[in-house]
Structure 1
Amino acid sequence: MRRDALWAVIALVMGLILLAAGAYNRQPLSAALAELVSFLPSTVPVQLLAVPLLLTCLGVVVRRSHPVSALALGTTGMTLDLIFGYSLGTIVVFTDNLYSAALYGPSRLGRWMFGTISALAILIGCVIAILSHDVRVFAIAAAQFGLLGTAPVVSALIVRQFRTQAELERARAEQVARLAELDRREAVEAERARMARELHDMIANHFSAIAIQSTAVLSRKDLDMATVRGILESVRENSVQGMAEMRSMIGLLRQSGDGEKAEAIRRRVAEVDELATRAREAGLDVRLRVEGEPRELPAAVDLAGYRIIQESLTNALKHGEEKVDLVVEYGAGTITLVADNPVGAARRASRRYGSPDLPSAGAGIVGMRERASLVGGSFEAGPYEEGWRVHAELPTEESSVLPGGMVL
């Protein structure tokens, strides 16, 4: 409002300067119109032409806050100006009244103004042609009034359309930004879940074995030095293996774009015999059977299968009995992993070494199920006969599994 008031003052001053310079016509619409309307003066004082100018300038003051009122003030001022004798300053300011009403007013107002002004231009051209008894004047008058009235309205409609398009594009950009932020958050959550699974599977296996074996040394007083040494060697081996895997993961996180390093530290189902060996060293009787022809697997399937086997052996070590039947079966387009472990009334650890009271996060089965699901496989875990069975079936087709575990 303050800025528009300043523009109105500037317009009023410039209009008065134009009046002082003689940029006006002191005759009414025409001599013939003055003859038809007896109360119209043939000439008017120049000071009276400042009244229409003032009305149109007042329309400039309220052009943003009350565009319809600005149009009403401008139309009133322009009508008086045409009656008293038109002036250049009032005409110029009136074009701003038309422009502001079409730009800031209701959306339908601009279209209504365009049609009304076009019709009025034709009507005024006809009246002037009749009063002047010259048909050629019709084209000139209609064109002048038409351009004077429609040009600012059309300009305002174009600007308004561009502003509407800009607002739509801005809203669309904000929506795209929100969607991108949601995708980013989802990716972060997925990565955090993946890292949690990796850390759980990596640490639980080694540290469960360390906890059980160290409990054995602390709880049994009758162990000879050879047995103690063997247990401590197994503890050391599990510690070294755990630290190596942790270093591998940290290196992978620091160099996430290096495909060769990721391949170098990749875990494979073919290394299941190493898992079985470490489990045996921890005191678990693992009977491993590999069926079918071993072959190269997609990286995501290889890692998922390795971690499922690792977590199955860890759970058996923590909660089950001392025997595990482990089967790895390479089938046509799939690989099947089965781990059977009897669960008796007394755990192996409590029977042999006392109770280590190992904590459990409850995330093992959830993590195994998530791993199988991410590569498009199936997973089941639950009671089986007198024990507990873990059964996973994973696809091995290269075309069905993308890097990162996504499934086509």
Structure 2
Amino acid sequence: MSTLERARCRLKAHPLALDAAIAAGALVCMVVGSFVEPNGENGVSWGVRTPDHVSLLLITIGAAALVRRRRAPRAVLAVTGTVSLVEVVTGDPRAPVAISAVIALYTVASITDRSTALRVGLLTMTVLTGAAMLAGPLPWYAQENLAIFAWTGIGATAGDAVRSRRAVVQAIRERAERAERTREEEARRRVAEERLRIARDLHDVVAHHIALVNVQAGVAAHVMDRRPDQAKEALAHVREASRSALNELRATVGLLRQSGDPEAPTEPAPGLSRLEDLAGTFRSAGFRVDVARADQGTTLPAAVDLAAYRIIQEALTNVQKHAGRDAKAEVSVVRVGPNVEVTVLDDGPGVDDAPQAGGGHGLLGMRERVTALGGTLTTGPRYGGGFRVHAILPVKTRTAASGERV
């Protein structure tokens, strides 16, 4: 920080000291000006005229009033304007008491609005200039009278310019602060969305594979003594399900790695291309799952593809947990106009055993996925028994559409 900037900071920290210094400077200028004759033989003559005691008193009052110019600007302007008016009417030769009025007018214009500065400035100029021309000791066309008009106008204009600059700087500072707050809020929102997305992925992965492991382990325990070969097959499915769970967990947790951590898995996120494999894991657990696709080979955005896969995975997991081993599930993926409709039906025992939104995070997670993509999700019991999950997902998400426009 330079010496000038340090001095400016100190003055801003002590405004009364600054005003006292300005008042002292104005006092010196007025006293010196009262001894100068601007129209002397050599241009400017010193000591040709000497101010009287009334002029010196008025000078002192005007300068002393400037010490309070920040705390009571209009009162100070009234005092300095009054002493200036008295001086221009009675002084002979005149002292430049109007300097104090010019400084006070500048202060008022710099802290008020433009209309107030205009009204006060015009009033001050009119009163002082008119009094000097009409009632002063000099001719109305004297340059001293015109100087009063010019300096009061300059004071009002300079004060309004300073006020405008302060307003612009303040507006720029407020916009910068607002932009900073907006960036922080956007960052927090993105972090919250990412945490929610990872939580949904972890729930879907764990719920699906642990449910399969639970079913296969139960089968193995049930047939261990009587049919060892079937128990061995069930344990193989348990091993496969647990391996798949570990792989997907590793891929999900890999998103949380820092840049210096070991490289995360590069396997693509699951999508509808793995729908038959997903259905096969349920069939191997003894459930009947039929898959029908009429999406005409549509290439979906990665977010939509993953959401459709996770919705089917969670819906089949709910069938497995709530509908019983004898239930049958039907999965359909259909392209309808600009959307892809995903439906999962089962013929389980009915409403009593159907998954409820308050019983876990499965249905909530599905709804959050669909809503984030701008789609709709409908879930509920079917007439005559069973449960229905129906999701409508837009093929072109809002993010993808904005990217195409760019």
1:369 is matched with: 367
1:37 is matched with: none
What are the residue-to-residue correspondences of 1:213-362 with 2, within 5 Å? 213-217=216-220, 222-254=225-257, 264-291=267-294, 293-322=296-325, 323-333=327-337, 334-344=339-349, 362=360
Is contact 2:224–2:231 with CA below 8 Å preserved after alignment? Answer: no
What are the residue-to-residue correspondences of 1:4-403 with 2, within 5 Å? 4-5=16-17, 7-8=19-20, 11-12=23-24, 15=27, 19=31, 23=35, 46-82=52-88, 83-84=90-91, 85-88=93-96, 90-104=97-111, 108-120=115-127, 122-124=129-131, 126-127=133-134, 138=141, 140-217=143-220, 222-254=225-257, 264-291=267-294, 293-322=296-325, 323-333=327-337, 334-344=339-349, 362-384=360-382, 385-396=384-395, 399=396, 402-403=399-400
User: How many residues in Structure 1 have an aligned counterpart in Structure 2?
Assistant: 369
If asked which structure has higher relative contact order (CA below 8 Å, sep 6+), I would say: 1
CA separation of 1:98/1:227 partners in 2, compared to 1, >3 Å: closer, same or farther?
same
CA separation of 1:405/1:253 partners in 2, compared to 1, >3 Å: closer, same or farther?
farther
Is contact 1:321–1:341 with CA below 8 Å preserved after alignment? Answer: no
Name which of structure 1's ranges 285-294 and 318-327 shifts more when overlaid on structure 2.
285-294
Q: How far 1:274 moved relative to its partner? A: 0.7
CA separation of 1:233/1:139 partners in 2, compared to 1, >3 Å: closer, same or farther?
farther
Give distance in 1, aligned partners of 2:33 and 2:371. Answer: 87
Could you tell me the TM-score, scaled by structure 1's length? Answer: 0.75
Q: How far 1:166 moved relative to its partner? A: 3.0
Q: Deviations for 1:314-364, whole angstroms, at most 9, x for unmatched residues? A: 11111112233323344354443332223238x99xxxxxxxxxxx95221
Name which of structure 1's ranges 144-153 and 246-255 shifts more when overlaid on structure 2.
246-255
Give distance in 2, aligned partners of 1:286 and 1:72. Answer: 93
Partner amino acid, structure 1, of 2:309: Y
Give distance in 2, aligned partners of 1:262 and 1:406. Answer: 27
Give distance in 2, aligned partners of 1:223 and 1:54. Answer: 117
RMSD over aligned CA atoms reads 3.9
Identity of aligned pairs, percent? Answer: 27
State the secondary structure of the residue aligned to 2:345: strand
Q: How far 1:151 moved relative to its partner? A: 1.1
Q: Deviations for 1:237-284, whole angstroms, at most 9, x for unmatched residues? A: 11111111122223345489xxxx999512221211111111123332
Give distance in 2, aligned partners of 1:324 and 1:265. Answer: 30
- Runs of 5+ consecutive residues of structure 1 not aligned to the other structure: 26-42, 349-359
Name which of structure 1's ranges 304-313 and 185-194 shifts more when overlaid on structure 2.
185-194
Is contact 1:202–1:242 with CA below 8 Å preserved after alignment? Answer: yes
Give distance in 1, aligned partners of 2:142 and 2:34. Answer: 27
Q: Deviations for 1:153-208, whole angstroms, at most 9, x for unmatched residues? A: 11111111222333334344444444444433333333332222222112210112
State the secondary structure of the residue aligned to 2:270: coil
CA separation of 1:92/1:293 partners in 2, compared to 1, >3 Å: closer, same or farther?
closer
1:35 is matched with: none
Give distance in 2, aligned partners of 1:144 and 1:405. Answer: 64
2:10 is matched with: none
CA separation of 1:273/1:159 partners in 2, compared to 1, >3 Å: closer, same or farther?
same
Larger radius of gyration: 1
Is contact 1:375–1:406 with CA below 8 Å preserved after alignment? Answer: no
Partner amino acid, structure 2, of 1:343: G
Name which of structure 1's ranges 9-18 and 335-344 shifts more when overlaid on structure 2.
9-18
State the secondary structure of the residue aligned to 1:167: helix
Partner amino acid, structure 1, of 2:111: Y
CA separation of 1:317/1:378 partners in 2, compared to 1, >3 Å: closer, same or farther?
same
CA separation of 1:225/1:276 partners in 2, compared to 1, >3 Å: closer, same or farther?
same
- Runs of 5+ consecutive residues of structure 2 not aligned to the other structure: 1-12, 38-48
CA separation of 1:13/1:278 partners in 2, compared to 1, >3 Å: closer, same or farther?
closer
Give distance in 2, aligned partners of 1:145 and 1:20. Answer: 17
Q: Deviations for 1:202-228, whole angstroms, at most 9, x for unmatched residues? A: 221011212333345557764543333
1:40 is matched with: none
Q: How far 1:371 moved relative to its partner? A: 2.6
Name which of structure 1's ranges 261-270 and 377-386 shifts more when overlaid on structure 2.
261-270
CA separation of 1:53/1:194 partners in 2, compared to 1, >3 Å: closer, same or farther?
same
Is contact 1:128–1:138 with CA below 8 Å preserved after alignment? Answer: no
